[in-house]
């Protein structure tokens, strides 16, 4: 087991190095750089910056150096000092920017993950044990709809409905008057009235797919002899179903739980943009549009690292939960 974990961890290292390089290349791809984007932004607002100033800025920021030199400067600072660089757009250290938004992001995405599972597992089990019942059909329709409706569209529609029929102030996480207020009971309540839309959107999107997976796995397991044996021994249905096949059917959940790690960090980017949530996702979009390369690059890097670590965790968990998997 220890050897297995070690081997997997060692394999992840070259992947990580390669990923870090690719993230840096991706953000270097667009023609022009931060300075030209900044100059364009200034021109749009009626201001002006001379080519001489631009050149000086480039020199100062080290944008004239060859790409490998820039990459090395960036990655060595991250690895050696945990310094993700400086966001040119926000004029603040990248780590501060991300850190500021990480709390709310983690809260929203972990809450939606928990809700997703709380919906998907019981519904999937019910659908499988009562196959072709009315509710099973209903859940099937729900599952297909959830697959077909893009998250951002659902967010838009919910926002519109709650705005025009429930007269709620939606978008963002707080009403304007609570934006900078200290935490009070009223502020928590305000948060709750805003939070339900992103939670519903994210949870239904995720649950729709997982219900299908859970149902299919349960149907595979329910026909197996060990289930029949359990029934023959006179156990009640609840004990049989939840005690044996559910535990096996949960395997795919465990093997994908690692994938939730990067999702926890970024939140759902598109939904966050639509709902104007103060999470990390919109920050990434903004950084990409502004060519704020240290911010965007750090983002893609952190997300990719989380994906690799998440896969690693999933593999280890799976090997631990399911003894049939060989450490090969």
C-alpha span between 263 and 256 (Å, rounded): 11
Query: What would the x/- binding string for other proteins be over residues 229 to 248, using CB under 8 A?
Result: --------------------
Cβ pair 211, 124 in contact under 8 A: yes
Q: Is position 145 an interface residue for other proteins (rule: CB under 8 A)?
A: yes
Stretch near other proteins under the rule CB under 8 A, chosen from 51-59, 128-136, 174-182, 303-311: 303-311
Interface residue with other proteins, options 214, 311, 314, 315 (CB under 8 A): 311
C-alpha span between 256 and 209 (Å, rounded): 12
Cβ pair 279, 111 in contact under 8 A: no
C-alpha span between 105 and 99 (Å, rounded): 10
**Considering only residues 271-300, where is the footprint of other proteins by CB under 8 A?**
273-274, 284-285, 288-289, 291, 296, 299-300
Stretch near other proteins under the rule CB under 8 A, chosen from 61-69, 154-162, 186-194, 315-323: 154-162
**Considering only residues 14-53, where is the footprint of other proteins by CB under 8 A?**
15, 18-19, 22-23, 26-27, 29-32
Report which secondary-structure segment, H or E, holds 93: strand 92-93
Closest approach of Cβ 8 to other proteins, in Å? 12
Dihedral sign, CA of 105, 111, 114, 120? negative
Interface residue with other proteins, options 7, 147, 239, 247 (CB under 8 A): 147
C-alpha span between 222 and 126 (Å, rounded): 12
Cβ pair 131, 219 in contact under 8 A: yes
C-alpha span between 85 and 77 (Å, rounded): 8
Residues that bind other proteins (CB under 8 A): 15, 18-19, 22-23, 26-27, 29-32, 144-145, 147-150, 152-153, 156-157, 159-160, 163-164, 170-171, 262, 266, 269-270, 273-274, 284-285, 288-289, 291, 296, 299-300, 303-304, 307-308, 311
């Amino acid at each position: 087991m220890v050897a297995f974990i070690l081997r997997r961890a060692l394999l992840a290292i070259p992947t990580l190095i390669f990923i870090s390089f690719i993230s840096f290349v991706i953000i270097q791809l667009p023609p022009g750089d931060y300075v030209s984007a900044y100059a364009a932004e200034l021109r749009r607002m009626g201001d002006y910056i001379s080519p001489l100033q631009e050149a000086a800025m480039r020199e100062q920021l080290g944008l004239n150096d060859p790409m490998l030199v820039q990459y090395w400067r960036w990655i060595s600072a991250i690895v050696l000092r945990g310094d993700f660089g400086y966001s040119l757009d926000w004029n603040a250290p990248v780590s501060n920017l991300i850190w500021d938004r990480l709390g709310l992001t983690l809260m929203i995405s972990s809450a939606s993950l928990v809700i997703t599972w709380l919906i998907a597992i019981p519904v999937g089990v019910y659908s499988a044990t009562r196959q072709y019942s009315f509710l099973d059909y209903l859940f099937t329709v729900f599952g297909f709809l959830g697959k077909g409706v893009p998250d951002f569209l659902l967010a838009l529609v919910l926002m519109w409905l709650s705005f025009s029929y429930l007269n709620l102030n939606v978008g963002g996480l707080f009403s304007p008057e609570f934006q900078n207020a200290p935490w009070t009971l009223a502020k928590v309540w305000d948060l709750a009235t805003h939070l339900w839309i992103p939670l519903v959107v994210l949870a239904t999107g995720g649950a729709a797919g997982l219900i299908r997976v859970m149902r299919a796995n349960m149907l595979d397991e329910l026909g197996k002899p060990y289930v029949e044996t359990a029934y023959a021994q006179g156990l009640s249905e609840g004990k049989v179903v939840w005690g044996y096949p559910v535990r096996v059917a949960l395997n795919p959940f465990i093997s994908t739980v690692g994938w939730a790690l990067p999702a926890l960090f970024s939140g759902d980017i598109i939904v966050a943009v639509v709902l104007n949530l103060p999470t990390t996702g919109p920050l990434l979009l903004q950084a990409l549009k502004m060519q704020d390369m240290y911010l965007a690059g750090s983002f893609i890097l952190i997300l990719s690292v989380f994906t690799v670590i998440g896969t690693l965790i999933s593999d280890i968990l799976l090997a631990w939960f399911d003894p049939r998997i060989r450490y090969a």
